[in-house]
Amino acid sequence: MKRRSLKQFLLEILLLLPVMLDAQNLPVVFAHRGCWLENEVPENSIEAVAMAKRFGYPAIECDVHYTKDSVMVIMHDFRNMKRCIRKRKGYARLDSVLGTADITYEDLKRDYVLASKNKAYRVPVPTLEEILTACKQHGIKPILHSNEVESYHMAQRMFGNDWIAFSGKDSALTEARRISDCMILMSRNNATADSTIRAMRALGGKVGLSSMNYEMYTREFCDSIRQAGFDVQASIFPAPYEAHAVANGASILLSNYVYMPNTGKKPYGKKKTGRHLFIIGEGTSIEADKETEFGASVLQVTFKGTLSVKFNDKLTYTFHHADWGTDIFGVRHFKKKPKVDIMSLETSEIKSATLSFYEF
């Protein structure tokens, strides 16, 4: 490889610096249904609130629905709880459809538990009040994904304005704003930037857009919303689209697995590639030296070309830069030795790639 002069080297660093600084402008991550772990910590559970605190998430989203006797409980699959719960006796699966509105809270609490391989987490479905109390205890902001205005009144009584209302029902959000100056996330899955901005201005106060439609979140769309003074939340986008949302300017990620290095947590270790490493076809792999029970890994890569990046043999992302660019992306994991595989989809030059490891 041709040797570079000191002047050339410094010029390259100066050209790269704005890209590196831009990469630090990371979105905040909210834990979707709490910080749950597959087959271990159940979603929408009190333990998922505690785990969110452990991982450094500032807020958790939870789903509010009524039981038959009008008790507000936290359950996403409110029409059929079969996936989320088991019979208390014998830990048997449900053999028929059971929704929250089909059963009283006392019967739900007596006869069923949340599903988990860990017996310690096989506990009753929590009430909204129990989840809010846990959020209060751990300093976590609750995001009520709810159309039930009574839930907003309870959150306002317990948290003042320090909670988030989240709904696609305009009448519910209007009531939230009537009683509170909290942040409101307005759910829209098919809208233009102009119509969204008009709706958010009409609602008033601190407002953000939340969408599950990753095709909406172009750079132009996100820039328009944010320049108008509003937040943009990417709502449980599948891989690789949440990474594209980050690149396009989303300010919030509501996610089941994303971790971003903006929580103040210091990594316990790092591994790097060499500088000016060409990745052609066969790629490279960066791996931690130890397995962690509760952990996360974050890749920062500066390159030009097109890279396919796979975390922990599972989540695959494609990143592209015609000229030098930097991407940062991370995932949480459970009982794994973190690893990232980097493969070129065309001749690509990596200026640097660093995988940072976190333990919680």
> Each residue of 47-94: pLDDT tens digit?
999 999 999 999 999 999 999 999 999 999 999 999 999 999 999 999
Give the mean model confidence (pLDDT) for residues 332-338. 94
Residues 6+ apart with CB under 8 A from 5: none
Residue 193's domain is classified under what CATH number?
3.20.20.190
User: Taking phi first (over 0 means left), then psi (-120 to 50 degrees means alpha), and beta for anything else, what does residue 236 get?
Assistant: left
Please provide residue 147's backbone torsions phi and psi, each rounded to the nearest 5 degrees: -105, 0
DSSP 228-294: TT-EEEEESPPTTHHHHHHHHT-SEEEESSB--S-SSPPPSEEEEPPTTEEE-SS-EEEE-SS-EEE
The C-alpha atoms of residue 237 and residue 243 are separated, in whole angstroms, by 9
**Beta pairing, strands 85-87 & 112-114:** antiparallel
DSSP 90-123: GGPPPSS---GGGS-HHHHHHHEEE--SSGGG--
pLDDT at residue 21 tops 70: no
Residues 250 and 266 in one domain: no
Kindly report the length of the chain: 360
The C-alpha atoms of residue 195 and residue 209 are separated, in whole angstroms, by 11
Beta bridge partners of 60: 31, 142
Residues 200 and 334 in one domain: no
Please provide residue 100's backbone torsions phi and psi, each rounded to the nearest 5 degrees: -60, -35
Give the mean model confidence (pLDDT) for residues 284-313. 93
Residue at 23 is within a domain? no
Structure tokens at 101: 């509105």
The C-alpha atoms of residue 263 and residue 291 are separated, in whole angstroms, by 22
Domain count, the chain: 2
Residue at 138 is within a domain? yes
The C-alpha atoms of residue 310 and residue 26 are separated, in whole angstroms, by 20
Sorting pLDDT into bands at 50, 70 and 90, what band is 4? very low
Q: What local confidence, expressed as pLDDT, does residue 68 receive? A: 98
Mean pLDDT of the chain: 91
Q: What local confidence, expressed as pLDDT, does residue 348 receive? A: 87
Decide if 42 contacts 115 (C-beta within 8 A).
yes
Residue at 14 is within a domain? no
Q: Which amino acid is at 139?
A: G
Residue at 6 is within a domain? no
Q: What local confidence, expressed as pLDDT, does residue 38 receive? A: 87
pTM for the model stands at 0.91
Q: What local confidence, expressed as pLDDT, does residue 2 receive? A: 41
- Domain range for 69 is 28-255
The C-alpha atoms of residue 118 and residue 293 are separated, in whole angstroms, by 14
Q: What local confidence, expressed as pLDDT, does residue 278 receive? A: 67
Sorting pLDDT into bands at 50, 70 and 90, what band is 349? confident
Q: What local confidence, expressed as pLDDT, does residue 280 receive? A: 62
Residues 73 and 188 in one domain: yes
Q: Where is average pLDDT lowest: 182-191, 295-304, 341-350?
A: 341-350
Decide if 202 contacts 231 (C-beta within 8 A).
no
Residue 339's domain is classified under what CATH number?
2.60.120.260
DSSP 3-state of 347: coil
Residues 352 and 222 in one domain: no
Residues 157 and 239 in one domain: yes
pLDDT at residue 181 tops 50: yes
Q: What local confidence, expressed as pLDDT, does residue 207 receive? A: 98
Residues 61 and 127 in one domain: yes
pLDDT at residue 220 tops 90: yes
Using N-to-C axis directions, what is the helix angle for 241-248 and 219-227, rounded to 10°?
A: 50
pLDDT at residue 7 tops 70: no
255, 286, 314 — which closes off a domain?
255
Task: Give alpha helix (H) positions in 78-169.
Answer: 105-111, 128-138, 149-159
Q: What angle do CA 211, 260, 62 make, to 5 degrees?
A: 45
Q: Where is average pLDDT lowest: 11-20, 206-215, 225-234?
A: 11-20
255, 276, 303 — which closes off a domain?
255
Sorting pLDDT into bands at 50, 70 and 90, what band is 1? very low
